[in-house]
Amino acid sequence: MHYYPDVDGITNGDFSDLLSRGDNAQFFTSTMQPHSVSKPIIITEMGSASGPDSDSNGTNQAERLVKYYVYSFSRGVKSISWFFGWDSSMTPNWGILKQAAPGFTPTKKTSFFSYKSLSQKLSGFASVEKISEGKIGNFTEGVYKFNFSERNPIYVGWSESNKILDLSPYISTPNVLVTDIIGGAQTKETIKVPISKSPVFIEAM
């Protein structure tokens, strides 16, 4: 499967194409099950462009990267390859690194750090549960629980309506660690966490 929502008709936050393809991943899985067939669903290319002007540092791209991965994993996708590693004349604005002249080190975009945070937080998860989601066709809200075999679950959440995420049904400890998409972490003495359009990773302490 390929995901390129930015060039497949998504405008003004309408992620219907991505959502429909994500549900296709579930369709493939449910179709295989009655026949005792089990094959991993793999996205060989998935991407989102930054910039060129309003998002030149890749902040919006960074947020979309996390949302695309989390949503895809929640639909049973097992492996995803991000396109592209760096900007080039052939792939302007699509990389997580800015284009650099030969011999020079590329500049890391915000999306580089969101990819790093995503990998560090969710690597090795055993399963994922959808707690809540926005309206199908619009990626304005999502809360997901990632389960691990040897460590506490990690919750990923965002909301463009700037809501308070109450995790009391899931977390019994009084404190949580909240990590933003670029790796900045804060301890919160509450399990009612404000969330915004930029995803955060939340775990019990």
H/E element, 68: helix 59-74
CB atoms within 10 A of CB 192: 11
Query: How many other CB atoms are there within 10 angstroms of residue 72's CB atom?
Result: 23
pLDDT digit string (tens) for the chain, length 205 residues: 676 655 543 333 444 454 455 556 666 777 788 888 888 888 888 888 887 655 656 788 999 899 989 988 988 888 999 988 888 888 788 889 988 888 899 899 999 999 999 999 999 999 999 999 876 545 688 999 999 999 999 999 999 999 999 999 999 999 999 999 999 999 999 999 999 999 999 999 9
- Confidence (pTM): 0.86
Burial class (CB in 10 A: 0-12, 13-18, 19+), 158: buried
Residue range(s) occupied by CATH 2.60.40 in the chain: 127-204
Are the CB atoms for 144 and 70 separated by under 8 Å? yes
For the chain, give the number of residues: 205
CATH code of 127-204, in short, is 2.60.40
